[in-house]
Each structure stands twice: as structure tokens, then as C-alpha cells.
Amino acid sequence: MTAATTPKGERRRAALVAAAGELLVEGGFESVRHRAVAHRAHIPLAATTYYFESLGDLLSHAVAYAGDRDVAAVRARVEAVSRRKRGDSALAKVLASVFFASDTDADRGALVSRYERMVLCTRDPELTRLQAQMRNVLAELHVEVLARSGRRAAPTDVERLMAIEDGAALAAFTAQGADVPRAVREALVTVVDDLAPVLP
């Protein structure tokens, strides 16, 4: 048994991943550095190179951690969505509130991090793969919200729905003080009936 697979080693490694993931969400990719991660985790600096082959390896785990935490928060909001038929305005509001929650600084930070990862991870095949996995889960959660709202949508239409959300969110991020959920809601309200029709 190597040190990395002992209970103590696993705890240390998990603490480093969590620290790196939290730094990534709070401050972006430039925040994930060996010294900062070790300080955040209260673990000796040498441990960051002992448990991870490189900074890139640590960053991959940070991206996965941040994505998992984001998905978990979204999933919790999905599970709180009641089952009833919704019109276009009501459905657009639910989708915006579930997938683009910005009620707290932490919510907004997680949302900014989601789109930062989406853009910057395209430069690395492994990070792109991780982002694709997360996006697939978010698509499944969209299907669940639609089903709870008495709607159906083909996979290609879910992709189009999410693309519209992405465009509205990214545009809103560039406007000072913009309300991202509102921007997404306004973009969705005119298309949800076409992309996710009401079940008969």
C-alpha cells in the first residue's frame, strides 16, 4: 500500500483537491497554485507534488471537484421543483432559477466559475472531457425539469435550449450589474414552447 492510498494519504489528497476546487471557484484558474492550495488545505507544500504529478494534474482534479459541486447544487434545486404543468413564462422562470441561481455571492461565484471553466477548458483535452461530462449531466437535469413541468424535448432541442441559455448568460455577464437569471428567463420565454412542447 502506497502512502497515497493509506487512509491518511486519501484524506490529505481529498483535502488538497477540495482546496484547489474552492480556489478555482473563488478566484479562477490563476488562483490554483501549489503554495495557495497547500495553505488553504493546511497541509505542507511538498504534499502537493507528492500526491499530484503536476500542477495540471491538480488542476484537473480541481475542475472535476468544482463541476461536481455545481451539479450537486443544481440537482438539489431540481429536486425541489414541483410536478405540475407550466406555461412558457413559468417554465422559463423555473429554468432560470434552477440553473442560474444568483441569490448569494456564492451562487454567483459558482455560476461565473461554470462559464469560466467552459471557455478556458477548451485548450486542454482532459479538461474539455470533464466539462463535456458535466454538460451531459446538466442536460439530463434539464430533461428532468421539463418532465416535472409537463413538457418533453428531444436531445437536440435540449442542446438548443442550453445554447440559448449560455448565450444569454454570457452576454449578461459582460453588462455591469446585469441580472443573469432575468436575462436567461427573457431569452427562454419566446422559445420554450417550440423546443419543449407541452405533453398532450
Largest CA distance in the chain: 61
Determine the topology of domain 7-195 in CATH: Tetracycline Repressor; domain 2 (1.10.357)
| 37 close to 101: Cβ distance less than 8 angstroms | no
CA dist list (Å): 9 to 5, 38, 64, 69, 82:
6, 14, 19, 22, 43
What percentage of the chain has pLDDT greater than the value 70? 98
pLDDT value, residue 4: 60
Please report, for the chain, the start and end positions of each structural domain, with discontinuous segments joined by +. 7-195
13-17, 62-66, 164-168, 171-175: which range is least confident on average? 171-175
**Residue range 12-60, pLDDT digits in tens:** 999 999 999 999 999 999 999 999 999 999 999 998 889 999 999 999 9
- From 20, 16, 1, 11, select the one nearest 46 (Cα to Cα): 16
